[in-house]
């Protein structure tokens, strides 16, 4: 069972996050919810790359949308940013809620920023280029502010859920 743990963790957490992503919720809430699941997944299996793999699972849930490429980039921007931040900051398994909140905040900020760079510079999405900095600032207020604020709460929540699941799984007899 242990050799399948990383794959099962990625599939389970990615599926839960994917189910959240198909709900008609504001993007800022979806980003913060993604942070919760990324922290939860990283608590269950703390290895670089697992967050990015989880993001790819989430992308499978986004295939049906008319703007799914944009949504994929949003999900993967968050997953890549979290993976980098967690790999740099999450050196020990024992963290306190303040450090986890900071990880969630920084990952959310970096993920939304990476998406904006993709939309304006790399892909040069017409609506983003035409909107210029006014569009970026509007997006920041509508998406980044709620996402980073909620991540301050949801990141520690994901860690606590992961800690309880880890304790529960280690206490089971495997049946």
Q: How confident is the model at residue 137 (pLDDT cuts 50, 70, 90)?
A: confident
Give the Cβ contact number of residue 61 at 10 Å: 19
Locus of tokens 């502010």: 145
Dihedral, 41, 76, 108, 4 alpha carbons, nearest 10: 10
Task: Pick the closest to residue 76 from 60, 52, 57 (CA basis).
Answer: 52
Assess contact for 175 and 55: CB atoms under 8 A.
no
What value does the CA radius of gyration of the chain take, rounded to a whole number of Å? Answer: 16
For the chain, the domains span 2-171
What 3-state class would DSSP assign to 96? coil
Taking only the tens place, the pLDDT of each residue in 6-30 is 899 999 999 999 999 999 999 999 9
Q: Does domain 2-171 have CATH number 1.10.357?
A: no
Taking only the tens place, the pLDDT of each residue in 40-83 is 999 998 889 999 999 999 999 888 765 668 888 889 999 999 99
pLDDT at res. 70:
81
Taking only the tens place, the pLDDT of each residue in 76-109 is 999 999 999 999 887 766 678 889 999 999 999 9
Question: Which pair of tokens denotes residue 56?
Answer: 């790819």
pLDDT at res. 175:
46
């Amino acid at each position: 069972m242990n050799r399948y743990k990383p794959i099962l963790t990625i599939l389970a957490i990615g599926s839960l996050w994917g189910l959240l992503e198909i709900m008609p919720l504001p993007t800022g809430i979806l980003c913060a919810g993604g942070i919760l699941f990324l922290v939860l997944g990283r608590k269950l299996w703390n290895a670089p790359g697992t967050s990015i793999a989880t993001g790819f699972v989430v992308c499978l849930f986004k295939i049906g949308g008319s703007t799914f490429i944009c949504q994929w980039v949003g999900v993967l921007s968050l997953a890549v940013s979290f993976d980098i931040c967690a790999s740099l900051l999450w050196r020990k398994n024992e963290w306190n809620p303040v450090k986890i909140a900071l990880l969630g905040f920084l990952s959310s900020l970096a993920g939304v920023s990476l998406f904006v760079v993709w939309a304006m510079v790399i892909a040069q999405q017409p609506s983003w280029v035409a909107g210029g900095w006014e569009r970026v600032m509007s997006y920041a207020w509508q998406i980044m502010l709620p996402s980073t604020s909620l991540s301050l709460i949801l990141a520690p929540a994901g860690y606590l859920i992961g800690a309880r699941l880890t304790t529960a799984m280690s206490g089971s007899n495997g049946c």
